[in-house]
Structure 1
Amino acid sequence: MTINKKLLMSIPDKIGVYIFKDQENNVLYVGKALSLKNRVSNYFIPETLALKERQIKEKTVNIDFLITKNEAEALILENNLIKQYSPPYNIRFKDDKSYPLLKITMQDGYPAIYITRELVEDGSRYFGPYASAWGIRRVARYAQRLFG
């Protein structure tokens, strides 16, 4: 890998998404991190790299990064970029599903709880996105029991 050390030093210690690219500027891998600096630097500690990470490191000549406001925003951006570029080293999120959200509406003065994959400007409160559909279903069942 011929990554400029100056580039590595310029990566911020912030939440965001990193994009590894090859010499033809093709996207090889998209990832998210709570600390871009720490996560990207992990690719340069040879003894800790798995085979896939070593292959990514060997083919990467440029790294782009996008800073986000929070982890949820980074997760959504990562998902969208993976769907847009279909990087060869990303396996997660290659299907066309989006992340589930918990939707709470107030009907007749009582909360109604739904799971949705679409955020609509309808006055409802949305929580998420959640990476685990199983986990959000469990939370929704608990909340429905709690509110009747």
Structure 2
Amino acid sequence: MNQHRIEIATEPHRDDIEFVVQQLLNFNKNRAGEGNYKPLAIFVRDVDDHIVGGLVGETYWQWLFVDVLWVQESLRGQGFGDVLLSTAEQEAMKRGCRHAYLDTFSFQAPAFYQKHGYVVFGELSDFPSGCSRFFLKKDLQ
């Protein structure tokens, strides 16, 4: 370590972050094979073409990862979340995925995902304070 230094970058350069991420992706590819990575984005738009809901995720190694699912508060409870999630799962299966995973907080939507067949496989208590972060998965086929 004498010839190396540790740097805490409070405002890191995007190129530096992308470099580190790419190095890990290269390592993973060498160890686990081509992941067939594809981003996934599904949107709900209103009549003025504004986004009022959406799902952002990715598929790789036969898994769907749901990173974000959001529906405008005034539209919640009307089935848009159901449609976004089922559309993502259907697209993932077309891409060869057999499983899905995601995480959500106790103040968000764990019951919503459980209603759709997701099961909790992990929990971080007190994250944030007084709440929990849940990790859920589902078999798609």
What is the TM-score when the length of structure 2 is the normalising length? 0.27
Q: Which has the larger radius of gyration?
A: 1
More strand by share: 2
More helix by share: 1
